[in-house]
């Protein structure tokens, strides 16, 4: 397998974009991605596109999503594939692009994700999200995603495996990072007290333990080693990756306080990279709920003194436009590893290796990518 690098990455701000549709959001992320390529980029080089979205193709009334976006953005008529794995759609689109390049089937592949969630009816939005959980036993019984992660949290608190303030600390940390990220949706710091006193969504989780619904898009360009110099002298290498799946329903799993797919995916990624958890300087960890970040960090092997987690603000503060999320994690790592996380307080100094963990449902599918900085 050849070496694989990310040479350009961009995203829209996450939040409410009432005047932009999915095509416009995609084009905006693509433009920022193009601007980030130190020597520019020639779309004629592109030979594959992997596009992630949950709602597109259906509720957004935009079917045939992948060729539609490629065509709208004026890209060449390359093979374009719509990848949908619930909230891990973006991570799996990135995985497909990375694998296509690693295997030599593509030299220059686009991975992008886009979602519109704000200006659709609440009922529709809940529907798209809700059906990504187990339908027969969870959703039909009224269990939402907040409910699923609330159950996980309640069990962990009852077991003494973590405290309520451990959860609140995650919300506080990620909102602090979000306050420094111009692309973040929630840009205000919050206190532990605010988290604890916010309205309960699904005990023990309050509103600040739960990520917001967002519009947004993200795009990264994945290329073979031979093409890296065409774009930049400062690529970010994708040195390891892995993916796995698990049962959708909590009751189908041996333990409801584990996210086994995360561990399985990470194991493969670490082995491929020849790195371990202690080598990771910063990580973007799928924090749809505070408890998810804590549980995932355990599965990823991050103990005390581990990496900086969710310096972007994470899903909790940066936002969670489903299909874009997994790709945006790579956008953040690309900037951080190149020392370009605009706001100095947010930049993780001297970061050399980063990890992105994206999951779908309550851990039914997972991707892990390990990125490393380095010259050509």
Can 82 be counted among the known catalytic residues?
A: no
From residue 12 to residue 51, the character string flagging contacts with its own copies as x (rule: CB under 8 A) and all else as - is ----------------------------------------
Which residues, including other chains, have CB under 8 Å from residue 136's CB and lie 6 or more apart? none
Which tokens belong to 361? 């449902």
**CA atoms of 45 and 205, how far apart (whole Å):** 47
Identify the residue among 68, 201, 220, 283 touching its own copies (CB under 8 A): 68
**Among 216, 230, 219, 233, which residue's Cα sits nearest to residue 31?**
219
Q: Which stretch, 26-34, 176-184, 238-246, 337-345, contacts its own copies (CB under 8 A)? A: 238-246
**CA atoms of 223 and 47, how far apart (whole Å):** 10
Identify the residue among 18, 19, 44, 77 touching its own copies (CB under 8 A): 77
Q: Which stretch, 6-14, 89-97, 154-162, 345-353, contacts its own copies (CB under 8 A)? A: 89-97
Strand ranges inside the chain, DSSP E: 4-11, 49-52, 80-83, 108-115, 200-202, 205-206, 216-224, 236-245, 282-285, 308-309, 353-360, 365-373
Which tokens belong to 137? 């036993």
Task: Say if residues 242 and 272 touch (Cβ distance below 8 Å).
Answer: yes
Distances (CA, A) of 320 to 18, 70, 213, 295, 336: 16, 23, 6, 19, 20
Binding residues for its own copies restricted to 262-291, rule: CB under 8 A: 264-265
Alpha helices, DSSP H, located in 145-232: 145-158, 164-179, 192-197, 225-231
Catalytic pick among 87, 108, 211, 297: 87
Q: Residue 138 interacts with its own copies (CB under 8 A)?
A: no
| Of 143 and 309, CB closest to its own copies | 143
First to last CA, the chain: 17
Binding residues for its own copies restricted to 326-365, rule: CB under 8 A: 360-361, 364-365
In the bound complex, what is the minimum distance in angstroms from residue 323's beta carbon to its own copies?
Answer: 12
Q: Residue 85 interacts with its own copies (CB under 8 A)?
A: yes
Can 56 be counted among the known catalytic residues?
A: no
Contacts with its own copies: how many residues (CB under 8 A)? 58
Provide the binding-site residues for its own copies, judged by CB under 8 A: 1, 54, 57-59, 61-68, 70-71, 77-86, 92, 95-96, 99-100, 102-105, 128, 130-135, 242-248, 252, 260-261, 264-265, 360-361, 364-365, 367
Active site residues: 87, 320
């Amino acid at each position: 397998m050849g070496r694989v690098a990310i040479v350009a990455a961009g995203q829209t701000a996450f939040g409410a974009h009432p005047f932009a549709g999915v095509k416009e959001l995609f084009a905006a992320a693509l433009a920022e991605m193009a601007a980030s390529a130190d020597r520019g980029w020639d779309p004629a080089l592109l030979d594959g596109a992997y596009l992630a979205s949950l709602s597109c193709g259906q509720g957004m009334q935009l079917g045939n999503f992948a060729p539609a976006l490629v065509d709208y953005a004026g890209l060449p008529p390359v093979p374009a594939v719509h990848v949908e794995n619930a909230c891990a759609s973006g991570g799996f689109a990135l995985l497909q692009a990375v694998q296509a390049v690693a295997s030599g089937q593509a030299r220059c592949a686009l991975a992008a994700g886009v979602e519109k969630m704000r200006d659709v009816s609440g009922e529709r939005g809940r529907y798209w999200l809700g059906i990504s959980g187990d339908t027969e036993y969870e959703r039909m019984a009224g269990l939402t995603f907040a409910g699923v992660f609330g159950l996980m949290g309640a069990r962990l608190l009852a077991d003494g495996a973590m405290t309520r303030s451990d959860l609140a600390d995650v919300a506080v940390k990620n909102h602090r990072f979000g306050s420094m990220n111009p692309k973040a949706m929630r840009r205000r710091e919050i206190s532990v007290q605010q988290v604890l006193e916010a309205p309960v969504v699904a005990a023990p989780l309050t509103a600040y333990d739960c990520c917001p619904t967002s519009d947004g898009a993200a795009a990264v360009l994945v290329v073979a080693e031979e093409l890296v110099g065409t774009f930049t002298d400062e690529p970010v290498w994708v040195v390891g990756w892995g993916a796995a799946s698990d049962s959708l329903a909590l009751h189908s799993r041996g333990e409801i306080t584990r996210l086994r797919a995360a561990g399985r995916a990470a194991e493969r990624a670490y082995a491929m990279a020849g790195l371990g958890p202690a080598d990771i300087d910063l990580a973007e960890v799928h924090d749809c709920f505070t408890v998810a970040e804590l549980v995932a960090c355990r599965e990823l092997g991050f103990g005390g003194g581990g990496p900086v987690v969710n310096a972007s603000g994470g899903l909790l503060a940066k936002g969670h436009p489903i299909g874009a999320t997994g790709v945006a994690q790579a956008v953040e790592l690309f900037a951080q590893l190149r020392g370009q996380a605009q706001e100095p307080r947010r930049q993780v100094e001297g970061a050399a290796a980063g990890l992105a963990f994206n999951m779908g449902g309550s851990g039914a599918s997972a991707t892990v990518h390990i990125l490393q900085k380095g010259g050509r």
